[in-house]
Chain A
Amino acid sequence: MKVFYDLSWYFKQEKLRYGTGIFILMLVSALTLIPPYVIGLVVDLIDGQNMTQEILIYWMTILAAVGVLSYILRYIWRILIFGASIKLARILRSNLYSHFTKMSSSFYQKRRTGDLMAHATNDIRAVEQTAGAGVLTLVDSLTMGSFVIITMAITISWELTLIALIPMPFMAFATAKYGSMLHHRFGSAQAAFSALNNKVQESMSGIRVTKAFGYEEEEISAFRSQSDDVVKKNMAVARVDALFDPTITIVVGLSYFLSVAFGAYFVINEAITIGQLTSFTVYLGLLIWPMLAFGWFFNIIERGRASYDRIRRLLFVEQEIKDVKGAIESPPAGDVVFDIKEFTYDGEKGLFDIYIHIPRGRTLGIAGKTGSGKSTLSRTLLRDFDIQKGRVLVEGQPLDTYEKDALLTSIAYVPQDHFLFSATIADNIAFGKPEASYKDIVKAAAAAGIHEDIIHFTEGYETMVGERGVTLSGGQKQRLSIARALLLDPEILILDDSLSAVDARTEELILETLKKERKSKTTIITAHRLSALNHADEIIVLEKGRISERGNHEELLLKNRWYAKMYQTQQLESELEGGGDNA
Chain B
Amino acid sequence: MLDKHKHLMHPLPQKEVLKRLLVYTAAHKKMIAAAMVLLIGGTAADLAGPILVQIFIDDYLTPRNLAAGALTALASAYLFLYAGSAVMNYFQSYMFQKIALAIIQQLRIDVFEKVEKLGLSFFDQFPAGGLISRITNDTEQVKELYITVLAIFVQNIVFLVGIFAAMFYLNPQLAAFALFILPVILCVIFLYRKYSAVYYAEMSEKLSDLNARLNESIQGMAVIQMFRQERRMNREFSGINQSHHNAWLKSMKLDGLLLRPAVDLISILALILVLTYFGITSFDSPVEIGIIYAFVNYLDRFFEPVNQIMQRLSLFQQAMISAGRVFRLMDHDEPGPVQKPKKDLKIQDGNIEFSRVSFSYTEGERVLKDISFQVKKGEMLAIVGHTGSGKSSIINALMRFYEIDAGNILIDGHSVDTFPENELRKNIGLVLQDAFMFTGDMKSNINLYDQSISEKKLLQAVKDAGAETFIQKLSGGLAHEVGERGSTLSTGERQLLSFARTIVRDPRILILDEATASVDTETETEIQKALERAREGRTTIAVAHRLSTIRNADHILVLKEGSIAEEGTHETLIAQKGIYERMYRLQKGGG
Contact = CB atoms under 8 A, between A and B. Distances in A.
A412 B108 CA distance: 47
B559 to A, nearest CB: 6
Interface in A221-264: 222-224, 227-228, 230-231, 234-235, 238-239, 241-243, 245-247, 249-250, 253-254, 256-257, 260-261, 264
A121 interface: yes
B221 A108 contact: yes
B220 A257 contact: no
Nearest to B262: A71
Contact of A204 (B131, B233, B234, B438): B131
Contacts of B128: 201, 204-205
Contacts of B49: 253, 256
Contacts of B559: 580
A216 interface: yes
B190 to A, nearest CB: 19
Nearest to A207: B123
Given A246-B90, A568-B590, A582-B579, A47 B268 contact: no
B297 interface: yes
Interface in A99-115: 100-105, 108, 113
Contacts of B424: 214
Contacts of B385: 577, 579-580
Contacts of B436: 205-206, 208-209
Contacts of B67: none
Contacts of A196: 136
B272 A215 contact: no
B283 A53 contact: yes
Interface in B520-554: 520, 544-547, 550
A431 interface: yes
Interface in B191-221: 210-212, 214-221
Contacts of A17: none
Contacts of B91: 242
Contacts of A246: 85-87, 89-90, 93
A101 B127 contact: no
Interface residues of A, number: 145
B249 A86 contact: yes
Contacts of A47: 289
B248 interface: yes
Contact of B268 (A70, A105, A247): A70
Contacts of B226: 382, 408, 411-413, 432
Given A83-B249, A203-B116, A238 B98 contact: yes
Interface string A553-571: 0000000000011001101
Nearest to A64: B272
Nearest to B269: A67
Interface stretch (A89-97, A152-160, A512-520): A89-97
Interface string B109-143: 10011011100100100011111100111001000
A78 B221 contact: no
B33 interface: no
Given A409-B228, A412-B226, A278 B293 contact: yes
Interface in A285-322: 285
B355 interface: no
A368 B26 CA distance: 65
B422 A214 contact: yes
Name the residue in A39, A213, A564 with the highest tally of chain B Cβ atoms < 10 Å from its Cβ.
Answer: A213
Contacts of A573: 516, 545-547
Contacts of A257: 75, 78-79, 82
Interface stretch (A351-359, A414-422, A532-540): A414-422
A245 B39 CA distance: 12
Interface centre among A47, A79, A82, A227 (most CB of B within 10 A): A227
Contact of B401 (A56, A59, A83, A211): A211
Contacts of B449: 215, 218-219, 222
A203 B117 CA distance: 12
B61 interface: yes
Contacts of A235: 97-98, 101
Contact of A268 (B61, B286, B587): B61
A503 B422 CA distance: 39
Contacts of B227: 408, 412, 431-432, 484, 488
B317 interface: no
Given A214-B422, A419-B219, A568 B591 contact: yes
A203 B428 CA distance: 21
B292 A278 contact: yes
Contact of A42 (B89, B109, B123, B279): B279
Contacts of A450: none
A272 B220 CA distance: 72
Given A220-B113, A246-B90, A467-B127, A86 B245 contact: yes
B350 to A, nearest CB: 16
Interface in A25-62: 35, 38-39, 42-43, 45-47, 49, 51, 53, 56, 59-60
A421 B102 CA distance: 40
Interface stretch (B176-184, B253-261, B363-371): B253-261
Contact of B292 (A46, A370, A568, A580): A46
A27 to B, nearest CB: 14
A234 B85 CA distance: 24
B454 interface: no
Given A75-B261, A209-B436, A467-B130, A67 B268 contact: yes
B476 interface: no
Contacts of B387: 503, 577
A238 B559 CA distance: 61
A267 interface: yes
A205 B439 CA distance: 12
B278 interface: yes
Contacts of A344: none
A131 to B, nearest CB: 14
Given A42-B278, A201-B132, A274 B289 contact: yes
A83 B108 contact: no
A198 B245 contact: no
A57 B23 CA distance: 54
B432 A209 contact: yes
The interface centre, meaning the residue of B116, B131, B558, B566 with most chain A CB atoms within 10 A of its CB, is B116
B270 to A, nearest CB: 10
A414 B279 CA distance: 83
B257 A75 contact: yes
Contacts of B82: 249-250, 253-254, 257
A238 B232 contact: no
Nearest to B227: A432
Chain A CB within 10 Å, residue with most, of B271, B399, B430, B550: B271
Given A408-B226, A467-B130, A216 B117 contact: yes
Given A201-B128, A261-B75, A571-B586, 5 more contacts: A64-B268, A234-B97, A274-B289, A281-B293, A572-B587
25 contacts: A42-B279, A43-B292, A66-B268, A83-B252, A86-B245, A97-B217, A102-B230, A116-B218, A117-B211, A200-B136, A241-B97, A242-B90, A250-B82, A253-B79, A257-B75, A274-B57, A282-B300, A369-B518, A409-B228, A415-B222, A421-B216, A432-B227, A573-B516, A573-B545, A582-B582
Interface of A: 35, 38-39, 42-43, 45-47, 49, 51, 53, 56, 59-60, 63-64, 66-68, 70-71, 74-75, 78-79, 82-83, 86-87, 89-90, 93-94, 97-98, 100-105, 108, 113, 116-117, 120-121, 193, 196-216, 218-220, 222-224, 227-228, 230-231, 234-235, 238-239, 241-243, 245-247, 249-250, 253-254, 256-257, 260-261, 264, 267-268, 274-275, 278, 281-282, 285, 369-370, 382, 405, 408-409, 411-413, 415, 419, 421-422, 431-432, 434, 467, 471, 481, 484, 488, 503, 528, 564-565, 568-569, 571-573, 575-583
